[in-house]
Amino acid sequence: MLGRRDPQHFLFSAANLPHRVPDDSFYGRMAAVSDVLFKDEHLQEMYDPTNGRPSLPPSILSGVLLLQFHDDVSDEEAVQRLQFDLRWQVALNLPTDYPAFDPTSLGNFRGRLAEYGQERYAFDRFVAVGRVAGFIPDRVTLLTDTTRTKGAGAVQDTYTLLRKCMRKLLKQLGYAAAGPRRGLAPETERLLVRYLEQDRKAKIDWSDPTQRAAQLQMLFQDAEAVLDLAAEHADEAEVRATGWLLVKILGDDIERDEHGNPRIANGTATDRIISITDPEMRHGHKSKAQRFDGFKVAVTTEQTSELIIDIQDIPAAGSDGRELLPTIARVEQHAGVSVEQVIGDGAYGSGAHRAACAEQQVDLLAPVMQPPDPTVDKSAFQIDLEQRTATCPQGHTVAGKPGPGAQGQPTLHFTFPRPTCEACPLFMRCVRSKVAGRSVSTHPFEVHLRDARLRQQTDEFKERYRLRSAVERKQAELVQHGIRQTRYLGHDKRQLQRLWTAAVVNLKRLFRLCKMRNQDLRQLLTDPDQPPVRAAPA
């Protein structure tokens, strides 16, 4: 049953007592709007209207969550601060003797938010306030970028991955109990003892390649035996998922040598599993030199207000740009605005993205990657798509031949005569072939990329592109509130952490905007014209 906050102001409310919490601090400003910041009725659909004991008021729990992500503390520490930290008591306008609750109540509340599609509750509420106040216009320019985050699971090597995955699979098959183990063959019983009872790193000399190879051989054979045991339970979803995980580890991390023996594979698979604790974690790169293990967070701000208008947990591997079109769709759906321009780095500037944005009448402002040798790069060739000709930097022109291209788009292929290229002073820099002259092919989205290269040289592009630094400042602010350390396992819980941390940053920004523009945030939070908070689509 929904528990409601008592509207009565208590004599011993922390805000009524002498205190030294500054009025212009986050806690002091939150205190001024604490009774209207969140409303119990906003989340009443999460509770049975007639059955059960009254819950902890969701308005108070929402406030505690907000402060928890602001101060970047655990559930246990959050409850302790609610009891003993005057700043929290002032911010929530609670009495100094407010009774504590069990820290698990916060975990249950987060789970309930995710279950009922309300993980966006605080984030969407503050964006809606920004819309009502006029801080966010009807047509917006988005500034977007990604930042790395560390996963909540332990990063494990191949030996540990195989051992832990086999243990997990055997438990799911029920072999941790004594009953299913009766009557098993001796070799199967030894297998169960090794991974269910002992389950420890092998006591070998790990600096000895021979001993490592023997250990890998044993793990490989045991993994095949465990998969054979699991084959009889392939209809169970949980067993099937863990069995797939074990097969993937074997396929990604192990290869056969010339004698057919297993060995650690050379290189790293693109989608390699790195943790059994959190199988969704991946290796990621923000640059060639900067590698991390975990996830990425795509952060998108609105240019004029600098409010975060979208934040999304995404896989660590792969290009940042893949999130561009989904971001535009989410912003238009949840914020009720039209996107007219997006400013991002080179990862967003692919030809396919430019074509898709042009079709949606969205101006994509992103740089095109600069070639290492611009003098002989394809961009130095004058390509006439209408005449189907290409002219090299030295003025030689050839006709193109149509050919198949990626994504079903036609392309043109141009090949210059070898003798002409050999007589050119740029020959050694320009031609890579041993027998033919220089060849050039058009991109499936050549027109969009050509226009982008020309635009990139203009002062207007350089001036607008400087605006992108604003989203980097927001990322730095999110990092101050703990966004770099993932707290929870599972995409829904990770996304909730991203959204509520962004809600903290947005509330701080709303405090500043209202002060600068002399607007009353309290009135905005109670404005009857404010659109209702929308639940995430199922």
Q: Give the confidence band of 234 by pLDDT, cuts at 50, 70, 90.
A: confident
pLDDT of residue 20: 84
Per-residue model confidence as pLDDT tens digits over 255-292: 998 888 999 999 888 889 999 999 999 999 877 777 89
Tokens of 432: 């890579």
Q: Give the confidence band of 535 by pLDDT, cuts at 50, 70, 90.
A: very low
Radius of gyration of the chain (CA): 30
* Residue-wise DSSP of 35-71: HHHS-GGGGGGGS-SSSSSPPPPHHHHHHHHHHHHHH
Per-residue model confidence as pLDDT tens digits over 114-130: 999 999 999 999 999 99
Domain ranges, ordered by start, for the chain: 14-116, 137-153+283-374+444-510+527-538, 158-264, 386-441
pLDDT of residue 320: 87
Tokens of 265: 């594979």
- The SS3 call for residue 294 is strand
Q: Give the confidence band of 184 by pLDDT, cuts at 50, 70, 90.
A: confident
Contacts of 73 (CB under 8 A, 6+ apart): 81
> To the nearest 5 percent, what fractions of the chain are helix, strand and coil?
50, 15, 40
Pick among 3.30.70.240, 3.30.420.10, 3.30.70.260, 3.20.20.70: CATH of 137-153+283-374+444-510+527-538: 3.30.420.10
Per-residue model confidence as pLDDT tens digits over 456-469: 999 999 999 999 99
Name the residue with higher pLDDT: 287 or 302: 302
pLDDT of residue 198: 82
Per-residue model confidence as pLDDT tens digits over 128-143: 999 999 999 999 999 9
pLDDT of residue 200: 84
Which residues on neighbouring strands pair with residue 291, listed in sequence order?
A: 285
- Contact between 342 and 364 (Cβ < 8 Å): yes
d(CA 150, CA 399): 52
pLDDT of residue 15: 67
Average pLDDT over residues 150-156: 93
pLDDT of residue 290: 79
pLDDT of residue 533: 46
Contacts of 427 (CB under 8 A, 6+ apart): 421
Confidence check: pLDDT of 156 > 50: yes
Per-residue model confidence as pLDDT tens digits over 94-110: 888 888 899 999 999 99
* Residue-wise DSSP of 399-450: E-EEE--GGG--EEEEE--HHHHHTSTTHHHH---SSS--EEE--TTHHHHH
d(CA 224, CA 247): 9
Which of 59-63, 305-309, 522-526 is predicted least confidently? 522-526
Q: What is the percent of the chain where pLDDT is above 70? A: 96
Q: Give the confidence band of 162 by pLDDT, cuts at 50, 70, 90.
A: very high
Per-residue model confidence as pLDDT tens digits over 372-418: 888 898 888 998 888 999 999 999 999 998 877 655 667 889 999 99
User: Across the chain, what does the average pLDDT equal?
Assistant: 90
pLDDT of residue 51: 82
- Contact between 321 and 332 (Cβ < 8 Å): no
Q: Give the confidence band of 209 by pLDDT, cuts at 50, 70, 90.
A: very high
Per-residue model confidence as pLDDT tens digits over 337-372: 999 999 999 999 998 999 999 999 999 999 998 888
Alpha helices in 72-185 (DSSP H): 75-84, 86-91, 104-115, 121-133, 158-172
Average pLDDT over residues 414-429: 93
